[in-house]
Copies of this chain bind each other. A is one copy, B any other.
Amino acid sequence: MSTMQQIVDFILELDKLKGVTRKTRPLGLDRYENSAEHSWQIAMLASSLTHFAETAIDINRVIGMLLVHDIGEIDTGDTIFYVEEGLGERKAAEFAAVTRIFGMLPEPQRAKFMALWQEFENAETPESRFAHAADRAMPVLLNLANEGQSWRENGISHERVVRRVAPPIKAGCPALWDYLEARLEDVRRKGWFGAD
């Protein structure tokens, strides 16, 4: 098979990410958000937040990570971030998925995307931590604009939101957490959260 055909087959395989639904609804739409459009939006969020990074970061690597980080969901589906059980199994399944999907590509593309995916997963570099902050903040921002739609539908409490999203957002972009912490406290009294 030609290198071009391998790339075409890979891109058509990626089309399936448009059918992987998340728990958040786009503002003003009845349907659930999918992981492809989410990946675009967090790349734009990270790019917009660049100068809030605490250390000098390569924003292009952040964007690269955000564009590929959910591709494993083509095989595994999306799991709401607040589920804390079975994380090890989910991570193994996502690794198997991206090994299969990036494996459709020739080199060096396969290695490039795999390295971006792995850097995001490891969350050890300033770039990957910044990427995680954008990824974790986005559904919070949508919920803050949407009367807590996915928190209420899934019974997620204020305490649980804070416990789960504060550490990665603080670690990657402290100024973003300062903003969100105050906003979350504001809406706590409005009944926009579920009970655990």
A residues near B (Cβ < 8 Å) are 2, 4-5, 7-8, 10-12, 14-19, 26-29, 33-34, 36-37, 39-41, 43-45, 47-52, 60, 63-64, 67-68, 105, 108-109, 112-113, 138, 141-142, 145, 175-176, 179
Q: Given A18-B26, A19-B29, are A7 and B48 neighbors across the interface (CB < 8 Å)?
A: yes
Q: How far is the CA of A98 from the CA of B60 in the complex (A)?
A: 22
Copy number in the complex reads: 2
Main SS class of interface, A: helix
Q: Which residue of B lies closest to A134 (CB)?
A: B11
Q: Which residue of B lies closest to A183 (CB)?
A: B8
Q: Which of B18, B28, B40, B44 contacts A19 (CB 8 A)?
A: B28
